[in-house]
């Protein structure tokens, strides 16, 4: 009976998409779904509206209210236009930047968005072609715009697309503007969308902005001399069919690296990502072709950026000469270790610097910052929160780096989102620096563990698709919240942090408030032996995520494999305790 009610509801909703407000192609697709005896596709396409959330839009492309299409994108842009016109009504000319990645329909959605902004009297700077997400952030700041968007679904599968909205500081939108925009978007009907653009208000931008961005990225280099000494460093880089191909090889050469080796098959720009199962540099298989090229050319470093070039994955040779993947926690740790060590050595630390990490990122990074006397701030997952800290401390303290476990790092403040362009360049410089000191990047990683203690992290994503999956994820979070573990892998839970209630509960029952800018559906468990477990539903994908971190000891490089094996056993025990 319940299923019949749902089918009736989605059928009524779908029939509204047969009105003249929707084009013939859309109406044809909706009729096909309505006529199909199997109502699964109809239900998934219409059971809810694709929500414009605090991260914008992200969803599977197709016809329907729960899909990415010209109407859901159009409603988002019309709502954002309405909000901008209300909030900046005293400005002579409101302006925005519009960019996009390599995905199917990204250019179409970008051009339609540009038309809608311009039809609402807003000046649009539209990139001539695909560009990295961080350059969109940079351009908003450089051009003095009030907002901007990029059409991208980051590292999601090829069926997805997305829409990220930025504010005038170049960061993704935060309170109170996020909720204000959401309210405006929710009011928009298809008939309200102004699709007929004003071409006089649309300006195409490209190479000139590229050069400004690349010049800014070059200023991040800490030790150009070490690069000059190792300019022939063999680096294999792949954009995995995405936007990194536009700028990252150019940026590396501007920094002084002359031996950049590409993977020609993956330089092909394609939203179908034909050479990989997933265009996600967190997934080892995405780097397989690059690693094969590295073996063929005897390279020293492999780097891969995701489709919108805001994340970087890397691989290097271990002490046995085998190619191994370096995870996001490890790269973030090396970035901050290098920045802090070099700043200290070169006398660049003035006492007003700060770093930022997210709450699910390894705690080992905080130990590095603490030892160097640099405050390490904790934020929620997502670089909009890191950017918020940069904005709050602007003019008071100097930001010198921040990152998260999911392969993102932001080494600069002229851009306010994670940036694979600067991260790839800085990573190459770190490899050159290690080599200058007679070490490999792998040995550098081992030395950090020897100095600060061993740590191993593992992220597990449990995918639950569709309406039933969303309900299951919600039930799992409720169960963890109400019946959380008292011990994990034999170690007593001593602290529980619930970011939805903003309460920290100690094992003695003492409850204190967590100082965070907003609530978030995240739970964290800390045990006596230093294990940390974080649980959160993804804000952009149909999955619930578990982040596990365990501690260990490592007195020398030679003990790395044993420390790693012990930690892996501990992680398996933690997973068993959690039932995952």
What digits encode the pLDDT tens for the residues 393-426?
A: 999 999 999 999 999 999 999 999 999 999 999 9
- β-pairing, 123-127 with 95-100? parallel
Token pair of 506 as six digits: 């100690």
Q: How far is the first Cα of the chain from the last one, in angstroms, to the nearest whole number?
A: 33
CATH topology of domain 55-205: Alpha-D-Glucose-1,6-Bisphosphate; Chain A, domain 3 (3.40.120)
Q: For residue 154, is it left (φ>0), alpha (ψ between -120 and 50) or beta?
A: left
CB 241 within 8 A of CB 266: yes
| Measured distance CA(170)–CA(146) in Å, rounded | 9
Residues of the chain where predicted confidence (pLDDT) is lower than 70:
1-2, 539-541
In the structure, how many helices (H) and strands (E) does the chain have?
A: 18, 23
Q: Is 295 exposed, middle or buried (0-12, 13-18, 19+ CB in 10 A)?
A: middle
Q: How far is CA 508 from CA 1, 142, 234, 483, 496, in A?
A: 48, 52, 55, 17, 11
pLDDT of residue 2: 55
Strand partners, 167: 147
Q: How far is CA 235 from CA 240, 267, 408, in A?
A: 15, 15, 20
Q: Is the dihedral of CA 290, 239, 220, 337 positive or negative?
A: negative
Strand partners, 58: 162
In CATH terms, the superfamily for domain 213-452 is Alpha-D-Glucose-1,6-Bisphosphate, subunit A, domain 3 (3.40.120.10)
Token pair of 1 as six digits: 């009976």
Q: What is the DSSP letter of 523?
A: E
Q: What average pLDDT does the structure give for the chain?
A: 95
Single out the catalytic residue among 118, 137, 154, 520. Answer: 154
| Measured distance CA(136)–CA(142) in Å, rounded | 10
Compute CA 269 distance to the chain's CA centroid, rounded to the nearest angstrom.
Answer: 20
pLDDT of residue 469: 80
Helices marked H in 192-243: 207-218, 224-229
pLDDT of residue 502: 97
φ, ψ of residue 402 in degrees (nearest 5):
-160, 150
81 included as an active-site residue: no
Q: What is the DSSP letter of 173?
A: P
pLDDT of residue 540: 64
**Predicted model pTM:** 0.94
CATH architecture of 456-578: 2-Layer Sandwich (3.30)
φ, ψ of residue 383 in degrees (nearest 5):
-75, -10
pLDDT of residue 279: 96
């Amino acid at each position: 009976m319940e299923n019949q009610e749902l089918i009736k509801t989605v059928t009524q909703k779908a029939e509204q998409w047969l009105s003249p407000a929707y084009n013939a192609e859309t109406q044809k697709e909706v009729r096909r779904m309505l006529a199909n005896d199997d109502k699964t596709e109809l239900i998934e396409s219409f059971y809810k509206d694709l929500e414009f959330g605090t991260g914008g839009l992200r969803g599977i492309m197709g016809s329907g209210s729960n899909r990415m299409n010209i109407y859901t994108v159009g409603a988002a842009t019309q709502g954002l236009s309405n909000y901008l016109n209300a909030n900046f009504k005293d400005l002579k000319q409101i302006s925005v930047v519009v960019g996009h990645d390599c995905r199917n329909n990204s250019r179409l959605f970008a051009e339609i968005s540009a038309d809608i902004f311009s039809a609402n009297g807003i000046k649009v700077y539209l990139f001539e072609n695909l560009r990295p997400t961080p350059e969109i952030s940079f351009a908003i700041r450089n051009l003095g715009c009030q907002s901007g968007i990029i059409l991208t679904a980051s590292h999601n599968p090829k069926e997805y697309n997305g829409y990220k909205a930025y504010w005038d500081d170049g960061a993704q939108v935060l309170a109170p503007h996020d909720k204000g925009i959401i309210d405006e978007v929710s009011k928009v009907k298809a008939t309200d969308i102004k699709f007929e653009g004003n071409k006089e208000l649309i300006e195409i931008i490209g190479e000139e902005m590229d050069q400004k961005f690349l010049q800014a990225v070059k200023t991040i280099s800490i030790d150009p001399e070490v690069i000059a000494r190792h300019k022939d460093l063999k680096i294999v880089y792949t954009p995995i069919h995405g936007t990194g191909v536009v700028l990252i090889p150019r940026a590396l050469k501007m920094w002084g690296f002359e031996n950049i080796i590409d993977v020609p098959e993956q330089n092909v720009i394609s939203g179908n990502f034909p050479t990989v199962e997933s265009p996600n540099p967190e997934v080892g298989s995405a780097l397989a072709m690059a690693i094969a090229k590295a073996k063929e050319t005897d390279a020293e470093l492999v780097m891969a950026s995701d489709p919108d070039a805001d994340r970087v994955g890397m691989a290097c040779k271990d002490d046995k000469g085998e190619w191994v993947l370096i995870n996001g926690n490890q790269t973030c740790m090396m970035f901050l270790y290098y920045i802090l060590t070099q700043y200290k050595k070169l006398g660049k630390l003035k006492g007003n610097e700060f770093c930022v990490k997210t709450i699910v990122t390894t705690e080992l990074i905080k130990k590095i910052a603490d030892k160097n006397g640099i405050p390490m701030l904790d934020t929620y997952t997502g670089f909009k929160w890191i950017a918020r800290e940069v904005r709050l401390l602007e003019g008071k303290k100097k930001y010198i780096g921040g990152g998260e476990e999911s392969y993102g790092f932001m080494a600069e403040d002229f851009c306010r989102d994670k940036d694979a362009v600067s991260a790839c360049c800085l990573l190459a410089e770190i490899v050159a620096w290690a080599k200058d000191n007679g070490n490999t990047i792998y040995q550098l990683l081992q030395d950090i563990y020897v100095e600060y203690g061993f740590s191993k992290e593992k992220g597990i994503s449990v995918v639950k698709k569709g309406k039933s999956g969303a309900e299951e994820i919600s039930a799992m979070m409720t169960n963890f919240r109400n019946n959380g573990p008292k011990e994990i892998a034999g170690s007593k839970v001593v602290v529980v942090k619930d970011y939805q209630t903003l309460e920290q509960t100690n094992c003695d029952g003492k409850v204190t408030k967590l100082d965070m800018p907003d609530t978030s559906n995240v739970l964290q468990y800390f045990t006596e032996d230093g294990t940390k477990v974080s649980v959160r539903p993804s804000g952009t994908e149909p999955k619930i995520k578990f982040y596990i971190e365990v501690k260990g000891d490592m007195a020398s490089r030679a003990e790395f494999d044993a420390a790693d094996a012990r930690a892996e056993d501990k992680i398996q025990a933690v997973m068993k305790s959690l039932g995952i």
